[in-house]
Amino acid sequence: MLNELDRLTFNCIKCGYCKAACPVYKEIGEEAASPRGRVRLIRGVYAGDVSLSQRYRKLIELCISCRACTAECPSGVSPNQAVLNARHHLAIECGIPLIKRLIFRRAMTARRMFPASAKLLGFLQRAIILQSRYSPARLILPILGLPFDKAIPYFQLKTFRDRMPEVIPTTNRKYRVAYFVGCGANLIYPEIGEAVVNLLTYFGVEVVIPRKQMCCGTPVFTSGDFEGATHLARQNLKVLSNLDVDAIITACGSCGTTIKHEWHDLLGIEVPSELTSKVYDITEFLTDCLAVSLSAHIPKAKTITYHDPCHLVRGMGVQNQPRKLLSSLADTRYVELASADTCCGGGGAYSIYHPDMSRKIGARKVDNVLKTEADLVATGCPVCILQLREMFSIARILRQVEHTAVVLNRALKEKSQN
């Protein structure tokens, strides 16, 4: 383990390039909160001049895993990868806090229990009307260390996968693909799943939604639990390896990145390259494999902009495809967002553990969106949607935030009605 920390940090030449990219450092301004600082601290744990103190843990946990540092590093160091390994090391040496252990270890790694608990949560939400901004039930939030006005996503009573058949056929079949749904679309935003399936079948693609797929493992390894994530990865790998499909489609940058890279790079699992090369983001598949261009218009939105999810742009390398698709929509103007590829502050469970930081980072995104005068922000990740909607809601600004697939699907419907 310590050797791993050594291997991941010894190439750092301390040039500081990564500092320019880090959204967390930008807010705090202390060297120890910069990627270069974290790399030095992790190296210190290996070398023996830094201890596993509370402050160390805090600094390691403050990283939002946006990968911006890694993209900047001339020396091939990935501070982000080093941080994830440092969390694993912390988990081994000091354990994982009980609450994270319950959510990530017990609930998420059990195939049935996770959707079941989410459904239960969905039921409770409806029972105690937590959703309402002024619900007295919200008083519990500050006790849990969360802002009173924290947006809480509605969990679905019936998950997306429960509602769908395992195979959705198409006429005129060109391809057959598997759709890796991911927790966001399955439990919170089923409209993303519906849009993906609709778009694919419309363009002649048969969709398989493998029954036994589970969480990809991102939230689990992000909390330092590599063992739990490995368990998930192996289960998923079994499911995905035995399919007769041309591609594996994701509509969440984090799921895609994790399957394509992290199962191997982070967890050290042998993943056949035939499998990783088949993983496509939905916008990537539509543009690169189906050459889709949609000229239909979307109701209400006149100006659209696009926010790059960290893991979609830097993890999967998907950047032009969603822009190309969105610009091809008729009657809408596509405008580029300034700093489109900087983090929105969502970061999965990050917004729960570090609500203040999450909102500070998010506020910069909101400012940039306002400069575009766009009325709709498209993006490619459920967590970004959750975060951006919350940010607009607390700023009391009316802006639509939708998944790119949902925007395209709506345009398609509009088109077929005309």
Ligand X SMILES: Cc1cc2nc3c(=O)[nH]c(=O)nc-3n(C[C@H](O)[C@H](O)[C@H](O)COP(=O)(O)OP(=O)(O)OC[C@H]3O[C@@H](n4cnc5c(N)ncnc54)[C@H](O)[C@@H]3O)c2cc1C
Q: Which is nearer to ligand X, 4 or 72 (CB)?
A: 72
Amino acid in the structure at residue 42: I
Sheet of 333-334, strands arranged across? 333-334, 303-307, 376-379, 400-403
Least Å distance between CB 15 and other proteins?
5
Q: Measured between alpha carbons, how far is 63 from 84 in angstroms, rounded to an integer?
A: 9
- Indicate which single residue of 59, 77, 195, 214 sits in contact with ligand SF4 (rule: CB under 6 A): 77
From ligand SF4, ligand X, other proteins, none, which one binds at residue 20 (CB under 5 to 8 Å depending on kind)?
A: other proteins
Alpha carbons within 13 angstroms on the beta-carbon side of residue 207 total 24
Q: Measured between alpha carbons, how far is 406 from 155 in angstroms, rounded to an integer?
A: 19
Amino acid in the structure at residue 386: L
Q: Which stretch in 20-28, 235-243, 264-272, 284-292 sits in contact with ligand SF4 by CB under 6 A?
A: 20-28
- Indicate which single residue of 45, 59, 73, 411 sits in contact with ligand SF4 (rule: CB under 6 A): 73
Q: Which stretch in 19-27, 90-98, 107-115, 365-373 sits in contact with ligand SF4 by CB under 6 A?
A: 19-27
Beta strands in 153-309 (DSSP E): 167-168, 175-180, 205-208, 247-250, 279-281, 303-307
- What radius of gyration do the chain's Cα atoms show? 21
Q: Which is nearer to other proteins, 335 or 338 (CB)?
A: 338
Q: Which is nearer to ligand X, 38 or 105 (CB)?
A: 38
Q: How many residues does the chain have?
A: 418
Tell me the β-bridge partners of 379.
Answer: 307, 403
- Token output for 138: 């919200």
What's 376-391 look like in SS3? EEEECCHHHHHHHHHH
Pairing relationship of beta strands 247-250 and 333-334 according to DSSP bridges: unpaired
Binding of ligand X at residue 20 (CB under 6 A)? no
Helix boundaries (H) for 285-397: 310, 320-327, 350-353, 355-372, 382-394
Binding of ligand SF4 at residue 231 (CB under 6 A)? no
- Indicate which single residue of 1, 2, 15, 92 sits in contact with ligand X (rule: CB under 6 A): 15
Amino acid in the structure at residue 411: A
Binding of ligand SF4 at residue 265 (CB under 6 A)? no
Q: Which is nearer to ligand X, 15 or 92 (CB)?
A: 15
Binding of ligand SF4 at residue 69 (CB under 6 A)? yes
Pairing relationship of beta strands 167-168 and 205-208 according to DSSP bridges: antiparallel
- Token output for 4: 């791993």
Binding of ligand SF4 at residue 63 (CB under 6 A)? yes
Which element (helix H / strand E) includes 402?
Answer: strand 400-403
Q: Which is nearer to ligand X, 16 or 169 (CB)?
A: 16
Q: Using the structure block, give the residue that is written with the tokens 């590093």.
A: 73
Binding of ligand X at residue 167 (CB under 6 A)? no
Q: Which is nearer to other proteins, 2 or 99 (CB)?
A: 2
- Indicate which single residue of 8, 12, 216, 357 sits in contact with ligand SF4 (rule: CB under 6 A): 12
Binding of ligand SF4 at residue 35 (CB under 6 A)? yes
- Indicate which single residue of 4, 27, 72, 414 sits in contact with ligand SF4 (rule: CB under 6 A): 72
The total of other beta-carbon atoms located within 10 Å of residue 277's CB is: 11
Q: Which is nearer to ligand X, 36 or 365 (CB)?
A: 36
Least Å distance between CB 72 and ligand X?
11
Least Å distance between CB 391 and ligand SF4?
18
Binding of ligand SF4 at residue 85 (CB under 6 A)? no
Q: Measured between alpha carbons, how far is 80 from 70 in angstroms, rounded to an integer?
A: 7
**Is residue 371 within 8 Å of 338, Cβ to Cβ?**
yes
* Short-list 108, 320, 121, 338, CA closest to 221: 108
Binding of ligand SF4 at residue 14 (CB under 6 A)? yes
Least Å distance between CB 304 and ligand SF4?
26
Binding of ligand SF4 at residue 39 (CB under 6 A)? yes
Residues making contact with ligand X (CB under 6 A): 15-16
Residues making contact with ligand SF4 (CB under 6 A): 12-18, 21-24, 35-36, 38-39, 63-69, 72-73, 75, 77, 79-80, 83
